Structure 1
């Protein structure tokens, strides 16, 4: 890009060219104030400079200063009459009540798409003009917004740089941005990763799905350095993020993997790679050359034959040559035994605490109502129920009977099954007895006063039932295990919280659970945990069960079913787990082109060998991270990475899901930076930070994240900017990585890593479980929450548009956006906060909460009422869409937070606004300053 001529400005001002907006913004050097309008008339500007549009260019919303209200304006917010008809709820302006509102920017839609509300061809705009959409204004216009920013112009602009792309291919472009003073637009986190630009002829198919969709598999780099030294020079990590079993919604039907049902599975004889769109056919199509090892293989005759029609088939129409993600129905040679039936063994805590909290009643009712949703197409599914307190309670469920018989075992040191049959039973044959048992189980233990927990023996009993075939143990516990093998002690010590010794509380206190989990993995038994204790649960220790058996952990601190919100959350998450299709007795192997090697693995599985991951069950939407190494120079123009998951489906079929990804190689470090995927990098670093916090200290994990970010910035400055190794007043990075610092700041401020003496070890340990299992579309909002303004959202938000409910535009995560009269939603996928300003007008409180005034509102866990007014319906629609729009089994609680309410709840909600300074954690501006100091003071050659 050619340099832009500098406008003439008065002393103290500086102009900086914005590459995205293609215009200047103006920075006051002393105060750091940034604005789009010139401070004075500019002499001979390069182009006409228009006033700052709403939210900045492209609808980007900038942080505003704290607003001070005049007396008359405050009265308008309080609902009293005003001389200005557009100033208050009592006198709403004509139309939809948003006459003074600035034009909103693009609104994010599912799949990362955007549209701008209010355009003539926008279907939502037509709906917004209907009479029922006319809303009162809960605010009185907006002030001009200002953004605190940096003071330096970009020193070096790589706007258009040829990267040695192959002939006929558009060259890569690397845009450098200055992080200091750069506005944050959260919607950019929804954007697709950098484009994968393969050389011409790399793929034999023109199908747009011939390369892996990032929701299944994504790499931290979409252009791979040819040498390890070049990768090390960039300081960027190289890893794969896998979600081989992602759930699909209606709009994702085109991403569903096609099924190859003719049992013709073509693989390389040497490296065992599955045929894919990146192989080449030679010898007139009679042989194919492997894209990984280069071996020439024969093409089987049946590959070109339609077995159903008994006639020749079109080779080029085969799914495995057109789709990156396919699923094969495996023939008998892929089986060591007949496909196992789905087996569910329910371990239910029936101690005094479990019964009194309502957990037993909620769980048994949910299981009863979910029996029809269990995978049972071929009527082979088996079920068992074991209740435990200080003893074990087995239940005999004879087929055809309507009654069950309870068998009690008191020997906890040598667990045995009281009878060989009728405990693990066929779901269809024993359905009547099972229905009766689940219907009365809670009443059977209603007067139980036992306070111990034989959790370990119950696990052993469940294992004895499930191990002959494999299956799932679904364990519900309301107490710390206290009896028999696996008994634990309450080791929570508030004096250790926030100290260098805190990591000891996050490490297992007993080896029983890891040893037992490995034994389960060998027998294809998976464990899912539901922890509902009101006290210490030692999540750090017991979560080892799901970690090594590919299960999931669910945590409900202080669960009490008398609060409907608690009961709904447990019921929703348990029923979702039971209804989801699963892959059983699975193994995952990742293959890569010659010169690449898998080095480390992160996620819930057991590493059986150097490249084989064992998963007794494959849950939906669980993520795995695999670090890669470049062992030798990559001479080929592109590399291929292929993930294969061999598993038994819920329908009893042995299947192989194959995900193939091709990535170009490069000798140019500029192309390495321009191809980096900030979302994948953040996902990998979250896994590595948790691992570091367990093996060392939490402080070491935060330092590792900080060091990695400063290393990347320092290497970029040295290799890609004119400043080189000298000091610079700016902080430069490629545009595709500009949100990586805010993501890593969110990770460092997350409850799993944040420095605090107020976070119980159970909460930290559960956060670690989520940080290492959530797929990117759930992990990113978990560390970078979403923040919406509801009281002044555009009138079409909360209504049904072309892609479902239209969401408000997200705001930067800073409390500067909170207004005293406002209503805001803050959510991270696990928790939702509805923030209500202290000066909220009575009509807003009435419309949303059905209460006369703000003083009547109570903070805490809540369910919004559904009222007969449009604004309430829109707010409820936004909350419902927030819960539903991500692929997740979780049901986030909603907390109402009053601005002047309980301090702990306020601080919890405000901790989600990660751009602010809190306790000992820096603000985003301070974080950038720390990074800049490190970059200027270090050596990154």
Structure 2
């Protein structure tokens, strides 16, 4: 009897394993491959034998001509399956903002990582059982295979990705199940693109690779939207958007296209901006809204090229080809003329601020960065107010180089001592500003006053700029102690780790919220730079940035005498000064019929039900918005559109529009297969902090754990043969297999971790980061990166064809630590260089320029740059780690010795979240407790 392989349709190939009664592989006529398929199991479908295969689609774009409706429906709509979303769609090219992947940095990183594993040969300082011979410099280090780095699952994954959703007429998303008990976390999974967005044919009128939003601007927790709320509830996967509307640009990335002709086509009913997902009807004279189906007239000048003063090509318009677009706003979008950029610096000059070196470092940084402050139109205004228990204003007349100090000691009724020359034009008063910044530290050098009138200083800064709006930058070195907003030290070690601890994470004074709302109304944003050797009540002070779309930066135990402290602050403060900002911004998110924005997370003030007020939006700040399905969705795809009306810092009113289109599904397996674990992890971080502030820290942890359990229970009941009964496995879809370790990382993050040892300031600052960092920075913050440096591949630390090459990322467990090794652990905020106690002298010499491990000191450090290849590569990796992510953060570097100071060692090892630590479980224990919970036995983690 012929084997089943011989009975396949024409053009198919297979290899049959008679012993185990399964196919080793099946390859269809069009090249789809499926591995290890039991007889009778469903396989990837191909076109039927005897039926012609689908026609090859070409990428020629039809041009618009008056009266030719076909131009909008014919070949132009299906021209390129990559962008039209047909069954043959491939992965969309990324429109900038690629996440950095451990192992490779560059555009081709994802493809490269699915290919061959890193070369097995690596320079090694140590061969098991013997010390290495050190011959002719580092180039002669011995070779050894990398220990225990499994490649097979990734290669198998590559095969699975190749098959996903490729069977014509089959499901959009192919579901693969993973058993969490036998699949340890693979760090590279977190850096892969989210599940591919597979739109139905003809949904997009543009073949552009940029027609749908890049995940770095906007990503959804689900890339296939359930058609009913009951289906969403059954899946238990939250539905939300993660939005970073003002994402920074890295070198080589294209800027957001700008439409300058002020021809803005919007739906008359729902106010949606025209985008690549509308339809043109009536011979191209009208367009149908993709959200509410309203028919709208095409503006007369839409097809006119105003630059060349001739008819234009409609298909070439940026708003029909790009999902992220910016319009120059006409006058009807302005309540007043565009404001100039305004910066008011409030500098604490009390005794501790001067003695710590904060005042000298801050004034020097401002002075060195005056040219970087956005001022293209030379309208930028600047003021400097110093404060201790009094306020010190500075009059800076234009053309003068001799500023005058004016002292206001009445802090109960704050007034401006002079109506002019306090807020001055940066270009006109440059000389006086430079003179003042060079003298402030000397003026207050002998200041012995202890105390802080921060609240009155804020009121003074507000009065100065309220008519215009702008940004207040507060540099504070002590707890506000007098006047409005005065705070008391409420740090109490006995409360830490108890149910009352969450009270320390809430604002102690209503001043900071009510003042923030006043600021928001006047388009004033506040950034906080907090330095203190003691308690500074980050929880209260961070309310100001939270409600005014600012940011909090915290420098505990700052001392500028340590060059590392001065460098970190100067680097971050300089980046913030140079950062372009969106002024007097409002943001609204619209969605297709049946969807509603339900709740909002991030730094802003909700002005009405769905209008977010953001006085000055910094780059790379992220927002999470939860979505409800209010009624059944009948359309094959839905659209989410974010519009941010703002003034640029060079005085132009603009509208930034970000459009994301997603398919709909009534199939539960597609809901699971489309889930984006990174977006879900980002949402969970926001929800956890919200819960910690409104309830208790314990409730916050229980909430996140329970949400994960609900997803696993739903998956087990709906997608596995085990159903509702007990199971020996813990099943989850392959695209969600890193979600449990992300949740574990969140539960172990200092923002919500169970501990009686975390100071409230440290915890509150961590919560600020958890609710404002974009996913690209947040994911390493809750799941750090771990590299082995002593035996990294020879190409790691160098620049390759596809960009900078990082070492392969290791799972976060101390099992990977070796006593002779050198390791790097980093979370985007801190970098640890972990040195094993048996590290050979040559390694210590090559990296630290010291003779042996014994003389090496642990702690905050700057690594020397030495003239040997290994030092150059290690320094390059540290530099790239600091540079590669967006944002102003400049992580400190700590050397951690294997047998060094216990607190520092425990801090570094706490980043290895797959290990057991204190009362917190290891990953294996965590997954085991999840299994028990899913099977209906056992308590929490």
TM-score by length of 1: 0.85
Q: Which residue of 1 aligns with 2:364?
A: 365
Match runs of 1:397-796 below 5 Å: 397-796=396-795
Please state whether the residue corresponding to 1:215 is helix, strand or coil.
Answer: coil
- 1:85-115 Cα deviation digits (max 9, x unpaired): xxxxxxxxxxxxxxxxxxxx99232457147
1:120 shift after superposition: 12
Query: How far apart, in 2, do the equivalents of 1:536 and 1:766 lie?
Result: 12
From 101, 104, 108, the equivalent of 2:104 is: 108
Structure 2 equivalent of residue 836 of structure 1:
835
Q: Give the deviation of 1:397 after TM superposition.
A: 0.3
Distance across 2 between alignment mates of 1:454 and 1:172 = 59
1:225 lines up with 2:221 in the alignment: no
Mapped to 2, the partners of 1:906 and 1:121 lie a distance apart of 32
SS in 1 for 2:462: helix
Q: Supply the distance in 2 between the matched residues of 1:6 and 1:161 (Cα, whole angstroms).
A: 25
Distance in 2 (alpha carbons) for counterparts of 1:139 and 1:897: 26
1:583-602 CA-partner distances (Å, limit 9, x unpaired): 10000000001100000000
SS of 2:242's equivalent? Answer: strand
Gaps of 5+ in 2: 6-13, 26-31, 37-100, 125-134, 154-159
| Aligned residue pairs, count | 838
Name 2:376's counterpart in structure 1: 377
Alignment of 1:223-372 (within 5 A): 223-253=224-254, 256-372=255-371
Q: SS at 1:135's partner residue?
A: helix
Q: Distance in 2 between matches of 1:273 and 1:142?
A: 54
**Cα drift, residue 482 of structure 1:** 0.1
Distance 1:629 1:691 in 2: 19
- The CA distance in 2 between the partners of 1:162 and 1:806, in whole Å, is 29
Deviation string 1:119-171 (CA, Å, 9 cap, x unpaired) is: 9999999999xx99953438866666799x9xxxxxxxx999998x9966774
Write the distance in 2 (CA, Å) between the matches of 1:439 and 1:222. Answer: 54
Label 1:358 to 1:302 Cα distance change in 2 as closer, same or farther (>3 A): same
- Alpha-carbon RMSD across the aligned residues, in angstroms, is 3.0
Q: Secondary structure at the match of 2:556?
A: coil
Supply the distance in 2 between the matched residues of 1:171 and 1:754 (Cα, whole angstroms): 39
Q: Determine if the alignment matches structure 1 residue 194 to structure 2 residue 157.
A: no
1:106–1:591: structure 2 CA closer, same or farther, 3 Å change rule? closer
Separation of aligned partners in 2, 1:117 and 1:287: 46
Q: Provide the rounded CA distance (Å) in 2 between the counterparts of 1:132 and 1:624.
A: 54
- Alpha-carbon deviations, 1:884-917, whole Å to 9, x = none? 1111210000000000000000000000000000
TM-score when normalising by structure 2 = 0.85
Match status 1:920 vs 2:916: no
Q: After the TM superposition, which residues 114-263 of structure 1 pair with which residues of structure 2 at under 5 Å, given as runs? A: 114=110, 135-137=139-141, 171-253=172-254, 256-263=255-262
Q: Is residue 642–residue 661 contact of structure 1 (8 Å, CA) maintained in 2?
A: yes
**Matching residue of 2:814:** 815
The C-alpha deviation readout for 1:457-494, integer Å capped at 9, x for no partner, is: 00000000110100100000000000100000000000
CA contact (8 A) 2:272 2:291 kept: yes
Contact 1:867 1:873 in 2 (8 A): yes
Superposition pairs of residues 9-28 of structure 1, within 5 angstroms: none
Distance, in Å, in 2 between the alignment partners of 1:168 and 1:22 is 18
CA offsets, 1:281-336, max 9 Å, x none? 11111111111111101111100111122211111111111111100000111000
1:208 positional shift: 1.2
CA distance in 2, matches of 1:781, 1:279: 37
Residues 1:122 and 1:802: Cα distance change in structure 2 (over 3 Å): farther
- Check conservation: 1:161, 1:172, Cα contact below 8 A: no
- Counterpart CA distance in 1 for 2:856 and 2:164 is 60
Task: Note if contact 2:752-2:763 (Cα within 8 Å) is conserved in structure 1.
Answer: yes
Kindly provide the CA deviation profile for residues 422-476 of structure 1, in whole angstroms up to 9, marking residues without a partner as x.
Answer: 0000111111000000001101100000001000000000000110100100000
CA contact (8 A) 1:266 1:274 kept: yes
The alpha-carbon deviation at position 390 of structure 1 amounts to 1.0
What is the rounded CA distance, in whole Å, between the counterparts of 1:415 and 1:112 in structure 2? Answer: 58
Distance 1:169 1:432, change over 3 A: farther
Q: Report the equivalent of 1:386.
A: 385
State the alpha-carbon separation in 1 of the partners of residues 906 and 739 from structure 2: 25
Aligned to 1:58: none
Query: Counterpart in 2 of 1:396?
Result: 395
Partner of 1:474: helix, strand, or coil? Answer: strand
Work out the CA distance in 2 between the residues paired with 1:445 and 1:711.
59
Counterpart-to-counterpart distance in 1, 2:148 and 2:769: 40
Distance 1:172 1:814 in 2: 33
| Secondary structure of 2:201's aligned partner | coil
Change (3 A) 1:700 1:265: same
Q: Find the residue that maps to 2:906 and give its secondary structure.
A: helix
C-alpha separation in 1, matches of 2:669 and 2:612: 35
Structure 2 distance, partners of 1:132, 1:282, is: 74
Cα gap change, 1:210/1:824 in structure 2, threshold over 3 Å: closer, same or farther?
A: same
CA contact (8 A) 1:475 1:529 kept: yes
Shift of the alpha carbon at 1:183? Answer: 3.0
3-state SS of paired residue (1:428): coil
Does the Cα contact within 8 Å between 1:327 and 1:658 map onto a contact in 2?
yes
* Contact 2:586 2:613 (8 Å CA) reproduced: yes
**Cα distance, 1:248 vs structure 2:** 0.8
Residue aligned with 2:369, SS: helix
Shift of 1:499: 1.1
Q: 1:21 offset after TM fit, Å?
A: 13
Q: Whole-Å Cα distance in 1 between the matches of residues 795 and 296 of structure 2?
A: 58
* C-alpha distance 460-160 of structure 1, shift in aligned 2 (>3 A): closer
DSSP 3-state at the match of 1:691? helix
The separation in 2 between residues aligned to 1:445 and 1:3, in whole angstroms, is: 83
CA positional deviation for 1:802? 2.3
What CA distance in whole angstroms lies between the structure 1 residues aligned with 2:304 and 2:912? 60
CA contact (8 A) 2:102 2:807 kept: no
Cα deviation per residue 1:335-390 (whole Å; 9 max; x = unaligned)?
A: 00000000000000000000000000000000001110011111100000000001
Partners in 2 of 1:643 and 1:21 — Cα distance?
Answer: 40
2:91 alignment partner in structure 1: none
2:114 and 2:798 map into 1 onto residues whose CA distance is: 13
> Structure 1: how far apart are the matches of 2:402 and 2:872?
46
Distance 1:142 1:686, change over 3 A: closer
Please tell me whether the aligned partners of residues 564 and 862 of structure 2 are also in contact (alpha carbons under 8 angstroms): yes
How far apart are the structure 2 equivalents of 1:264 and 1:116? 43
Q: How far apart, in 2, do the equivalents of 1:743 and 1:629 lie?
A: 24
Take 2:888 and 2:379, find their aligned partners in 1: how far apart are those partners?
25
CA distance in 1, matches of 2:142, 2:815: 19
Q: Structure 1 unaligned runs (5+)?
A: 9-15, 25-104, 150-157
Q: Contact 1:124–1:800 (CA<8 Å) still a contact in 2? A: no
Q: Contact between 2:122 and 2:791, CA under 8 Å: does it hold in 1? A: no
Q: 1:106 to 1:875 in 2, by over 3 A?
A: closer
